[in-house]
Amino acid sequence: MPQELLLQVSPEIASNDLLLKNHLSKQIKVSVNEIQHVSILKRSIDARQKAIKINLKVVIYLKGEPFQDQKIQLPDYGNVAGAQEVIVVGAGPAGLFAALQLIELGLKPIVIERGKDVRGRRRDLKAINVDHLVNEDSNYCFGEGGAGTYSDGKLYTRSKKRGDVTRVLELFVAFGASEDILIEAHPHIGTNKLPQIIQDIREKIIECGGQVLFETRLTDILIKNNEVQGIVTQKGDTILANKLILATGHSARDIFELLDLKKIFIEAKPFAVGVRAEHPQSLIDSIQYSCDYRGEFLPPAPYSIVKQVGGRGMYSFCMCPGGVIAPCATSPGEVVTNGWSPSKRDQATANSGIVIELQLEDFKPFAKFGALAGMEFQKSIEQRSWHLAGETQKVPAQRMIDFTQNRVSSDIPKTSYVPGTTSVEMGQVFPGFLTQILREGFTEFGKSMRGYLTNEAILHAPESRTSSPVRIPRDPMTYEHVQIKGLYPCGEGAGYAGGIISAAIDGEKCALMIGAILNK
């Protein structure tokens, strides 16, 4: 009978199959030659003590015990070319996984995406990085795969209660991701590997009879008697269907404006805003691992930190070990930062959003915009940052201690943010209450992580697209919009997800709800 064990081992043993087998043979008191196979089910790092350990959950198969290494397979997707059609707006994780689920249910998805395919997006990313040109339909936020494709590909989620996380991870593996994402405590595909996986998902949708239309932006929703009839695109084309999954992401401001204009009920939603802090990765390693050099068997160290400052939560967000900071504006006249890591996380710097929870009352100066008040608050910070940094894609920047002491940095070293930086006193970027909380918060962070508060760390502003500033209300049982029948608000843009996995799960759930109605 295979044995399941929980154990702690050194990083060296955890990274070497032979050493691990030798260690396990002593644990279970059998010859190493008797061990046929070791399956690792879960892996995490315990860095609480000076001697860092790797936590493993393993299953040991001895000789003679049945073991078969089974490759994860895709579901048996049928051909849906002639099936009933469902419109899916947005080809991010919510939209793509909704489309796959629809195919499983025997329904035909018509996916429209305002941006380009994953390969075509690269030219526009180069344009924003090198030439400071923002394409409003193709950028780090818009295009095939959504924001996560070129801004990290993290798969960690706390949304265990929202759906089947394992199912989504296994689908990613079946489409080409490493099986390591099934066992790591904080799984990560990497911005360099995710595009091919996204392309393979799209090709599967098309192969099964679904449609994927790029550079096709929703400009109107056709509604009769409070029921969806179809959509109109910017090309003037009409696509008819009475089921619409709206999965447009947290930055699709034109969609929020369209819904507001059509008096389709939406509401302002709190989100978080702050800066993106970049440290040398070696410094974060030394803090987290309590050593001068992490060695070859430990990955670049991440960090997670939360504080209550001035009655508000201030916390790290989307932390990217061995990563870089990217320009994520979606319109000219604004600057936005985000971070990402390649699969090896081998860059010299670590970065993280450091953000503060906002409250609805913070949007009062923008009350005239109604449900869009939070969005306008967000835009005001991004546009002010653009003006302060020189009206290019450079961003305001300041050394961390200089910021806490209200002192303009005399120089800003070259950072991973390719468009460049402008030395600015960050207090000019944010409303006064946010500036004060950030200053106090970084001081508190420095007390918890000795060495974190340093002028080697460079703050980049703003980190403002943490989540949607709008919620599109839906019935908690049917997932339909509370007012419009056949409209299914979905994913991050609707306010129901926060990251690749939770968005993908939400897409599947919306598709399942539609299938339950159409397949009666």
Tokens of 231: 């959509």
Q: What would the mean pLDDT of 121-134 be, rounded to a whole number?
A: 96
Report d(CA 519, CA 74) in Å as an integer: 22
Q: What would the mean pLDDT of 327-340 be, rounded to a whole number?
A: 96
Q: Which helix (H) or strand (E) holds 200?
A: helix 194-207
Taking phi over 0 as left and psi of -120 to 50 as alpha, with beta for the rest, 431 belongs to beta
Of 161, 157, 136, 158, which Cα lies nearest the Cα of 148? 157
Report d(CA 441, CA 307) in Å as an integer: 7
Residue 128: φ, ψ to 5°: -75, -35
Q: Which domains does the chain have, with CATH numbers?
A: 3-62 (3.30.70.2700), 85-267+469-519 (3.50.50.60), 272-463 (no CATH)
Q: What would the mean pLDDT of 452-462 be, rounded to a whole number?
A: 98
DSSP 420-468: -EEE--GGGTS-HHHHHHHHHHHHHHHHHSTT-S-TTSEEEEEE--SS-
Q: Is the pLDDT of residue 238 over 80?
A: yes
pLDDT at 125: 94
Contact by Cβ (8 Å): 336, 328: yes
Q: Which residue has 């703050």 as its token pair?
A: 459
Tokens of 475: 């019935």
- In this structure, what DSSP letter does residue 474 have? B
Contact by Cβ (8 Å): 208, 200: no
Report d(CA 13, CA 43) in Å as an integer: 13
Question: What Cα–Cα distance (Å) separates residue 148 from each residue in 96, 139, 154?
Answer: 13, 12, 8
Q: Is the pLDDT of residue 253 over 80?
A: yes
Q: What would the mean pLDDT of 456-485 be, rounded to a whole number?
A: 98
Query: 69-75: long-range contacts at Cβ-Cβ below 8 A with a sequence spacing of 24 or more?
Result: 69/37, 72/170, 72/173, 72/174, 72/179, 73/174, 74/171, 74/174, 74/175, 74/204, 75/100, 75/104
Residues in Cβ contact with 118 at an 8 Å cutoff, skipping those fewer than 6 apart: 143, 144, 145, 149, 195, 196, 198, 199
pTM: 0.95
Contact by Cβ (8 Å): 419, 395: yes
Tokens of 39: 């399956």
pLDDT at 158: 57
Cα of 145 vs its chain's centroid, Å: 11
What are the counts of helices (DSSP H) followed by strands (DSSP E) for the chain?
A: 13, 22
Q: Is the pLDDT of residue 301 over 70?
A: yes
pLDDT tens sequence across 178-187: 999 999 988 8
pLDDT at 152: 57
pLDDT range class, residue 156, cuts 50, 70, 90:
low
Query: Mean pLDDT of all residues in the chain?
Result: 94
pLDDT tens sequence across 38-78: 999 999 999 888 889 999 999 999 999 988 888 899 999 99
Q: What would the mean pLDDT of 498-510 be, rounded to a whole number?
A: 94
Q: What would the mean pLDDT of 509-514 be, rounded to a whole number?
A: 98
330-344, 374-388, 449-463, 467-481 — which is least confidently predicted? 330-344
pLDDT at 70: 83
Q: What would the mean pLDDT of 492-498 be, rounded to a whole number?
A: 94
Q: Is the pLDDT of residue 319 over 60?
A: yes
Q: Is the pLDDT of residue 134 over 80?
A: yes
